Amino acid sequence: MKYTILWKPILKLVLREFFIAILLLLGVSVLIFSILNLAPGDPLHIFINIQTQNPEEIAAIKRELGLDRSIAVQYLSWLNNLIHGNFGNSFRTGRPVFSELIKVGVNTLILTIGSLIVTLLIAIPIAVISSLRRCPFLSWGLTLFAYILSALPVFWLGYIAIYIFTKKFNLFPFLSAGAASGFRINWIYFLLPIIVLGIGNGSISEIIRHMRAQLERVLSEDYIKAAKAKGASIWRHSFKEGILIPVTAMIAAKIPFILGGAVVVEQVFNWPGMGRLAWQAALDRDYPVIMGITIFAAVVVHLGRLSQTIVFAFVNPQTSEKGEPA
């Protein structure tokens, strides 16, 4: 079936969002950079304690790290490097921030996206079932169940999970993503934190509530009634507006939240993710690493929003010539 997919307006819309995202990321970097420089504490302290307080040596270190320049110049040079793909080098280790970030960043991303999928797998069926109103008891029970899940503290849940798996499967209690020996053990190590975060991040009830509201609103629309009157399947007709769009909206909205929860879960499961890197870097006042991490997190958030815009543009035929969503 030939669809009139209006490529031009969709492209315009996506580009527009993209540029806004870039502007926002710039804003984020400025904000963080300012806070870093205004905050108490000094990157030099990791060196000064070790070395003497010889003013010449201090000046030399400063020059080496580029801290003798004015703040504005520091920022601009950082920005300049960034445009060329260089995230700078960590103050502490001297290694490129990018390589360190990628290693742990990917782990955190896996955790975040995986648990997002788990959350949706639980939330969507519950939302659909409770909006059908077939058995009010069932939907009320399911919603209550979801609320309880949302209220569970994730760190406790994680520990219970570890405990159960240790007792039942006799596994080594402290897990890390790269744990060796055996395919089966690997999978469980891998999946457990994802499932725990998927269940325990507090957003399930909000997702269900939102999806249910949208689905019920769509199901009461005129065109659904007309579709029913002609004997068509209401699910086919309500899918786009009732499920697809709310789901992508929820994904985009909840990514920052789940990213945050990931930090806690990483601690419980010893998952080598960004959380630990961020903490260490913050203590060290390792400016390049901190900037790298916050930009990374912000980029992930904006990627989520961008994909929401793209899905929205494709689904909604009213994406007009000017590239505005209707």
Closest separation in Å from C-beta 35 to another protein = 8
Chain-centre distance of CA 246, in angstroms? Answer: 17
In this structure, what are the phi and psi dihedrals at residue 91, rounded to the nearest 5 degrees? Answer: -65, -35
Pick from 63, 95, 133, 184 the residue near another protein by CB under 8 A.
Answer: 133
Residue linked to tokens 């060290």: 284
Q: Decide whether 85 or 136 has the Cβ nearer to another protein.
A: 136
x-marked contacts with another protein along 282-321 as a string, rule CB under 8 A: xx-x----x--xx--xx--xx------------xxxx---
Return the residue of 99, 279, 303, 324 that touches another protein, per CB under 8 A: 279
Q: How distant, in Å, are the alpha carbons of 43, 152, 284 from that of 37?
A: 10, 38, 13
- By CB under 8 A, which span of 64-72, 75-83, 177-185, 253-261 interacts with another protein? 253-261
CB of 243 to another protein, least distance (A): 12
What are the backbone angles phi and psi of residue 320, rounded to the nearest 5°?
-85, 180
CB contact at 8 A, 119 and 177:
no
- Tell me the closest approach of the beta carbon of residue 62 to another protein, in angstroms: 20
User: Which of 47, 98, 145, 159 is in the footprint of another protein by CB under 8 A?
Assistant: 159
Pattern 1-30, another protein, x by CB under 8 A: xxxx------------------xxx-xx--
Q: How far is the CB of 168 from another protein (least distance, A)?
A: 13
Cα angle 18, 252, 259; round to 5:
110
Backbone angles phi, psi at 158, to 5 degrees: -60, -40
Instruction: Select from 46-54, 68-76, 175-183, 252-260 the region that touches another protein (CB under 8 A).
Output: 252-260
Instruction: Write out the two tokens for 199.
Output: 């269940």
Cα 78 from chain centroid (whole Å): 24
Q: Using CB under 8 A, which residues numbered 136 to 155 contact another protein?
A: 136, 140, 147-148, 150-155
Q: Which of residues 53-82 bind another protein (CB under 8 A)?
A: none
Closer of 56 and 321 to another protein (Cβ): 321
Indicate which single residue of 15, 22, 31, 59 sits in contact with another protein (rule: CB under 8 A): 31
Residues 186-225 contacting another protein, CB under 8 A? 202, 205-206, 209, 220-223, 225
* In the block, residue with structure tokens 């999806």: 211
Q: Choose, by CB under 8 A, the member of 227, 272, 307, 310 that binds another protein.
A: 227
CB-nearer residue toward another protein: 24 or 188? 24
What the block records as the tokens of 17 is: 């969002």
Cα separation, 274 vs 256, in Å, equals: 14
d(C-alpha 89, C-alpha 78), whole Å: 11
CB under 8 A: which stretch of 32-40, 66-74, 75-83, 121-129 binds another protein? 32-40
When the beta carbons of 26 and 59 are compared against another protein, the nearer one is 26
Q: Could you tell me which of 326, 270, 262, 268 has the C-alpha nearest to residue 296?
A: 262
- For residues 263 and 278, the answer to whether their CB atoms sit within 8 Å is yes
Q: What interhelical angle do 245-269 and 183-200 show, nearest 10?
A: 120
166 forms part of the interface with another protein (CB under 8 A): yes
- Report the amino acid identity of residue 81: N
Nearer to another protein, 152 or 186 (CB): 152
Closest alpha carbon to 123 in 306, 217, 255, 250: 250
Q: Which is nearer to another protein, 4 or 49 (CB)?
A: 4
